[in-house]
Amino acid sequence: MQAILVRPAPDGTGGTYELVAGARRFRASKLADKDTIPATVRNLTDAECREIQLIENLQRADIHELDEGIGFRSLMELKPDFYTVEAIAVQVAKSPAYVKGRISLTDLIAATQTAFYAGKLTVAHALELARLQPADQDRALMECFPGHRNTASILKDRKAEATTVRQLRDWIDREIHLDLKNAPFDVNDANLLPAAGPCVTCSKRTGNNPLLFAEVRNKSVCTDPACYRTKIQALVQARLEPLMKEGQKPVQISSAPYWQARSKSSDTLYEGQYRRAEREGECPHTQAAVIVDGREAGTILHVCADEECKTHRQFSHYEISPQEREQRRKLEA
């Protein structure tokens, strides 16, 4: 019903043609014992052949979503100036958001791609994971399959079922996404971390990528927690340097309680290990400090970390004593 497409053999052999599009039709004609098949002959370059083959493959009904994304990206790499997301959407009769979503699937890490091809993840799960950074994708994949430690165990377990997409989204909102409205640093500052640039123009901010984050209402969400933390560290360092130049030895303090901190740093004091002072010199042990986390990160204040300080010891101390810890251990036993 539709002629195959061929081009004259690139090596110049007379009467010989190279198949460009219609491989399945060609094989079907041979199975039907046909001696001839209708064909359209066109003089095409290698790039034009690749373009036609990609477009034809993308129009297959049984194409996998990830293969579809790989095809879209290949078209963009083939002709960057011509094949934009919008141009491809017109070509394949899909919405720009659909095309952008499929292209994002090519950013999946290898483990997630394997689980996706194996049918362990739906396309909705894959789209959620593809919007995350590689390290966060690995965490999120394990979150999808509670009780499994790696991809191999997920693939081996025939009964392994992913959590719902809603549960995955809730976890991402809780553990990955960060509201830039609460950022302790200036989101317009391009010099705080030159390699990343300002947050307001970053492609990893939801508001700057509406095709990929169409359903996210908050347009000021950072999807790269590692970059966010690096900017906080840069802010803290910028606040520490002037104090150190003055000859002071400021300490780094956390706003997180000592017993709740997930990973403790040896050079950081946690709430319960220090007491805030109203002013410098309030007691002989008062020293400058910089908060390293939370909404107050970068704030300079003065603290006292001496347990026996007569000025500040009347304030409550959250960390229990070794004697009380031993008593609690005996009671638990």
Q: What is the mean pLDDT of residues 188-213?
A: 94
Q: Residue 265 CA to chain centroid, in angstroms?
A: 25
What's the whole-number average pLDDT of the chain? 89
Cα distance between residue 302 and residue 287, in whole Å:
5
The answer to which of 44-48, 198-202, 209-213 has the lowest mean pLDDT is 44-48
Query: Which is more confident, 224 or 82?
Result: 224
Provide the domain count of the chain: 3
Q: Classify residue 58: in a domain, yes or no.
A: yes
The amino acid at 329 = R
Of 105, 136, 162, the last residue of a domain is 105
Same domain, 281 and 316: yes
What tens digit of pLDDT does each residue of 61-110 get?
Answer: 788 999 999 999 988 988 888 889 999 999 888 899 999 999 999 999 99
Same domain, 253 and 226: no
Cα distance between residue 206 and residue 223, in whole Å:
7
Query: Which is more confident, 50 or 290?
Result: 290
- The pLDDT assigned to 132 comes to 96
**CATH (domain of 67):** 1.10.10
Q: What is the mean pLDDT of residues 279-296?
A: 89
- Report yes or no: 172 and 265 within 8 Å, Cβ to Cβ: no
What tens digit of pLDDT does each residue of 145-183 get?
Answer: 998 888 899 999 888 899 999 999 999 999 999 999 999
Phi, psi dihedral angles at 318 (to 5 degrees):
-80, -25
What percent of the chain shows pLDDT beyond 90? 57
- Asked whether the predicted pLDDT for residue 234 surpasses 80, the reply is yes
Cα distance between residue 180 and residue 275, in whole Å:
29
Q: Classify residue 43: in a domain, yes or no.
A: yes
Cα distance between residue 127 and residue 150, in whole Å:
20
Of 70, 87, 105, the last residue of a domain is 105
Cα distance between residue 35 and residue 217, in whole Å:
60
- Asked whether the predicted pLDDT for residue 4 surpasses 70, the reply is yes
Of 77, 105, 133, the last residue of a domain is 105
Cα distance between residue 34 and residue 214, in whole Å:
51
Domain of residue 45: give its range.
Answer: 4-105
- The pLDDT assigned to 174 comes to 94
- The pLDDT assigned to 316 comes to 52
Query: Which is more confident, 271 or 59?
Result: 271
- The pLDDT assigned to 3 comes to 93
The amino acid at 302 = H
- The pLDDT assigned to 321 comes to 65
Same domain, 227 and 261: no
Phi, psi dihedral angles at 71 (to 5 degrees):
-65, -45
Cα distance between residue 5 and residue 55, in whole Å:
13
- The pLDDT assigned to 320 comes to 63
Q: Residue 132 CA to chain centroid, in angstroms?
A: 2
- The pLDDT assigned to 315 comes to 53
- Asked whether the predicted pLDDT for residue 309 surpasses 80, the reply is yes
Q: Classify residue 169: in a domain, yes or no.
A: no
- Asked whether the predicted pLDDT for residue 318 surpasses 70, the reply is no
- The pLDDT assigned to 163 comes to 93
